[in-house]
Chains A and B, each alone.
Chain A
Amino acid sequence: MLQQETTIKTEPAMKKEDQLIEPRVLDPRTQILVLILISVIFFSLSDLLLEVACMVMIGLILIWQGMWKTALKYWAFYAGTMLFFLFSLEYPNMLISMIGILCVALRKVIPSFMFATAIIEKTKVGKLVSALQEIRLPKGLIIAFAVTIRFFPTLKEEYWLVINAMRMRGIRFSLKNLILRPMLVMESILIPIMLRMSVIADELAVSSVTRGIDSNRKRTSYYKNRFIWMDGVVILIFSVLAILAIITGN
């Protein structure tokens, strides 16, 4: 989309490869659909084999997207929870059983987190918003979604700012303080963050209003989403898995 760049000579040369090769990533609409299908597979209480097949597929998608390290980490984590669960059956003991149950719960949510990681890492928010517009979600909802994503990094910055300020004023965010002076610690974190956030939210609202956020026209997008063959393959596989899960599930 930006191939005309070459005509500009005054600016530093861009890394052409970065611009021209589209990163390997699924269409955002596929991603949303697959995320739903994964939940169906894991909460329909069907065969363990189906779950494992699903995990393998998610891992393969991550590897296709160039995230093999993340894939391996999640696979290892998943295998770990399964092993510990089996172990807890062998040694019935209060604590071990409790951790065993926790492992089962974790096993059910790991796949969703794993796939969400793939979405967040590789998909531009603009593309995601564009996809949500294409599937005709209400505008208010989409804007809320976009703002939420934009606020996470800001929240992180503010959080560390306040934690450091607290330390300097002699309020340590420690276990001891959390137990002895819980109100002080919570107040000290929350109030400054909320105040700052409300200022930022106000300023953001003003800046968006002057740029037509409340226009009545139908919102369009800079980005265009295109299905590629991989989208078809992925949707097909996960649909089959989900159908099998529903049929065999109880």
Chain B
Amino acid sequence: MISIKNVKFSYDDSENSGLDELSLHIPKGQCVLLAGVSGCGKTTLLRLINGLIPRFYSGELSGQVEIDGQAVNGYDTDDLSQKAGCVFQNPRSQFFNVDTTSEIAFGCENLGFTRKEIHRRVDETVKALGITHLLDKSIFSLSGGEKQMIAIASIYAMGVDIFLMDEPSSNLDAVATQQLRKMIERLKAEGKTIVIAEHRLHYLKNVVDRVLHLKEGQVANDWTSTEFQALGTAELGANGLRSLSFHHLINEEPNKVDSADTQLQIEDLWVSYEPKQYVVKEVSHVFHQGEIVGLVGHNGQGKSTLARCLCGMVKEKRGTVSYDNTLMPHKKRIGNIYLVMQDATSQLFSDSVLGELELSCQARKEDSPYTNDEILDMFSLSHLHDRHPISLSGGEKQRLAIAAGMAQNADVIILDEPTSGLDHQNMKRVKEVMKVLRQNGKMVLVITHDFEFLLNTCDRVLIIEDGTVRTDYHLDEAHFSQINKFFLID
């Protein structure tokens, strides 16, 4: 049982938003979804419940947070860690160990349980969660979904009653998201209390008992599951929330283009990292200018490798890529086909926003039709021109990375998961940016797991399976059920 009374909190570094006179009560065994735009206080609320505020994040705190009738800050930290456990957003950074068994045992080891007890708990955990097959594996060989299961198992083994999850699906594909959903259902069936902060609402709509809509640090709406499911997309959208159903998003008339337009042509492309083990095989496809194409596929099916190869980072074993009827060997593609990475931090190298574009000017071979100021304007970055790229928000970094590609005269822009962890409004912003790119004659490909974004933005979709293009169609009414099935929706 979690009870929060009149809690007010503001972070010391005031950039993060806090909570404002928030009160709520979560009975034991309830599964609660926290929804709301970025910065509404979802994460802050989770941090209060597991005591990370004020233990790890400092700020001004008033009011009461209680678990089972005892104040959270009154708990011994060892006891608290056995009450409430947390699964975090990034599956890569929450692991302490390099193998799965050690990771599941990690919390128990820290708390000094006997070896026999640890073995019993690890055993019980993997059986209860149905992940016996994941024991004794390298963490680095797991998929994103499997990593999240290990994260859940690790706190399960400690015997926690309350599972807190902070955007657990934001890095997961459709299959992994469904695995996560099943896992949450198992926990719920065992009577655990579950609190999930999440932007993607769809996969949880039949799982949660209650939805708390947070707004500016307060509970704006407290919906039951039935009330929540009855909400229309318009209403959700007005509150900055993602959709629960997708059919209406289908584009009535996707942008169909003239086949005589400039093209990116791929012919019989094969890529392998190790001899004879082809990750991408016999891919042939023609991309047209003016189309925004979604590349979708489950993890490990080769879509990232295909993108890396198109960008010239990996050399093809066989086949050709040509743009505008000119052959583009892999070295020529570097910089001309430009990848915007999931975390743009890795691709910004200058000490100011404008400097970033100047760096691109040095790299290009011919003059750009746009001045740097025009490009900054295009992506609404003008007011930030002398800021250090590190100080920008995630969305701004992403736009700057795109702008740098623009300044570099890239012909094709590929975006890798541009909307992971974004709320409704920020997702729409990414969509606008992609339209800007299209208007300026760039060819846009986007790798995405985000069904809502795909329907919202793309004209055409390629499904990559087993290293090759399995299907390819316009995102229109006629193909809706097919793509729906691929994303395992209902």
**What is the interface of chain A, defined by CB distance below 8 A to chain B?**
1-2, 4-5, 8, 10-12, 14, 18-19, 124-126, 129, 146-147, 149-150, 153-154, 158, 161-162, 164-171, 184, 187-188, 191-192, 195-196, 199-200, 203-222, 224
Q: For the complex formed, measure the closest distance between the CB of A160 and the CB atoms of chain B, giving whole angstroms.
A: 9
Taking a contact as CB atoms under 8 Å apart, the answer to whether B343 and A196 are in contact is yes
Q: How far is the CA of A220 from the CA of B107 in the complex (A)?
A: 10
Taking a contact as CB atoms under 8 Å apart, the answer to whether A126 and B404 are in contact is no
Q: How far is the CA of A188 from the CA of B355 in the complex (A)?
A: 13
Name, among A12, A124, A168, A199, the residue most crowded by chain B CB atoms within 10 Å (CB to CB): A168
Taking a contact as CB atoms under 8 Å apart, the answer to whether B78 and A217 are in contact is yes
B: contact size bracket = 35 or more
Q: How far is the CA of A221 from the CA of B114 in the complex (A)?
A: 8
Q: Which of B83-91, B188-196, B452-460 contacts A (4 or more CB under 8 A)?
A: B83-91
Taking a contact as CB atoms under 8 Å apart, the answer to whether A222 and B102 are in contact is yes
Taking a contact as CB atoms under 8 Å apart, the answer to whether B140 and A222 are in contact is no
- Whether B311 sits at the interface, judged by CB under 8 Å, is yes
Report B-chain residues with C-beta under 8 Å of the C-beta of A147.
96
Report A-chain residues with C-beta under 8 Å of the C-beta of B93.
199-200, 203-204, 207
Taking a contact as CB atoms under 8 Å apart, the answer to whether B390 and A5 are in contact is no
Q: How far is the CA of A12 from the CA of B346 in the complex (A)?
A: 39
Report B-chain residues with C-beta under 8 Å of the C-beta of A11.
130-133
Q: How far is the CA of A191 from the CA of B347 in the complex (A)?
A: 10
Name, among B56, B110, B313, the residue most crowded by chain A CB atoms within 10 Å (CB to CB): B110
Report B-chain residues with C-beta under 8 Å of the C-beta of A170.
335, 359-360, 362-364, 408
Closest B residue to A201 by CB, please name it: B93
Chain B 350-386 interface residues, beta-carbon cutoff 8 Å to A:
359-360, 362-364
Taking a contact as CB atoms under 8 Å apart, the answer to whether A187 and B86 are in contact is no
- Whether B5 sits at the interface, judged by CB under 8 Å, is no
Q: A4-B123, A215-B111 are in contact. Are A164 and B313 (CB under 8 A)?
A: yes
Taking a contact as CB atoms under 8 Å apart, the answer to whether A210 and B348 are in contact is no
Name 15 interchain pairs, CB-CB below 8 A, sorted by A: A14-B133, A125-B102, A154-B92, A165-B347, A168-B339, A195-B390, A207-B93, A207-B96, A207-B151, A210-B84, A210-B85, A217-B110, A217-B112, A220-B115, A221-B115
Taking a contact as CB atoms under 8 Å apart, the answer to whether B363 and A171 are in contact is yes
- Whether B97 sits at the interface, judged by CB under 8 Å, is yes
Closest B residue to A4 by CB, please name it: B123
Name the one of A188, A204, A207, A215 contacting B349, with C-beta atoms under 8 angstroms.
A188
Taking a contact as CB atoms under 8 Å apart, the answer to whether B345 and A192 are in contact is yes
Q: How far is the CA of A192 from the CA of B52 in the complex (A)?
A: 27
Taking a contact as CB atoms under 8 Å apart, the answer to whether A209 and B55 are in contact is yes
Q: How far is the CA of A153 from the CA of B106 in the complex (A)?
A: 19
- Whether B287 sits at the interface, judged by CB under 8 Å, is no
- Whether B334 sits at the interface, judged by CB under 8 Å, is yes
Chain B 97-149 interface residues, beta-carbon cutoff 8 Å to A:
97-99, 101-102, 105-115, 118-119, 122-123, 127, 130-133, 135-136, 140
Taking a contact as CB atoms under 8 Å apart, the answer to whether A222 and B122 are in contact is yes
Q: How far is the CA of A18 from the CA of B133 in the complex (A)?
A: 12
Q: For the complex formed, measure the closest distance between the CB of A190 and the CB atoms of chain B, giving whole angstroms.
A: 10
Q: How far is the CA of A2 from the CA of B134 in the complex (A)?
A: 13
Report A-chain residues with C-beta under 8 Å of the C-beta of B404.
169
- For B326-341 the 0/1 string (1 means CB < 8 A from A) is 0000000011001101
What is the interface of chain A mostly: helix, strand, loop, or mixed?
helix
- Whether B50 sits at the interface, judged by CB under 8 Å, is yes
Name the one of A199, A211, A214, A222 contacting B115, with C-beta atoms under 8 angstroms.
A222
Taking a contact as CB atoms under 8 Å apart, the answer to whether B334 and A168 are in contact is yes
Q: How far is the CA of A7 from the CA of B264 in the complex (A)?
A: 55
- Whether B67 sits at the interface, judged by CB under 8 Å, is no
Report B-chain residues with C-beta under 8 Å of the C-beta of A169.
335, 347, 349, 359-360, 363, 404, 408
Taking a contact as CB atoms under 8 Å apart, the answer to whether A211 and B85 are in contact is yes
Report B-chain residues with C-beta under 8 Å of the C-beta of A209.
52, 55-56
Q: A169-B359, A196-B343 are in contact. Are A210 and B81 (CB under 8 A)?
A: yes
Q: For the complex formed, measure the closest distance between the CB of A194 and the CB atoms of chain B, giving whole angstroms.
A: 10
Report A-chain residues with C-beta under 8 Å of the C-beta of B335.
167-170
Q: How far is the CA of A208 from the CA of B77 in the complex (A)?
A: 12
Taking a contact as CB atoms under 8 Å apart, the answer to whether B119 and A204 are in contact is no
Closest B residue to A192 by CB, please name it: B346
Taking A124-B102, A207-B86 as known contacts, 10 extra A-B pairs with beta carbons closer than 8 A to each other, sorted by chain A number, are A11-B130, A125-B97, A150-B95, A153-B98, A168-B311, A200-B90, A207-B151, A210-B81, A211-B154, A215-B77
Q: How far is the CA of A216 from the CA of B110 in the complex (A)?
A: 9
Report B-chain residues with C-beta under 8 Å of the C-beta of A187.
349
Report A-chain residues with C-beta under 8 Å of the C-beta of B133.
11-12, 14
Q: A168-B334, A195-B345, A220-B113 are in contact. Are A146 and B92 (CB under 8 A)?
A: no
Closest B residue to A150 by CB, please name it: B98
Chain B 18-53 interface residues, beta-carbon cutoff 8 Å to A:
50, 52
Name, among B133, B136, B347, the residue most crowded by chain A CB atoms within 10 Å (CB to CB): B347
Report A-chain residues with C-beta under 8 Å of the C-beta of B343.
196
Name the one of A153, A171, A212 contacting B78, with C-beta atoms under 8 angstroms.
A212
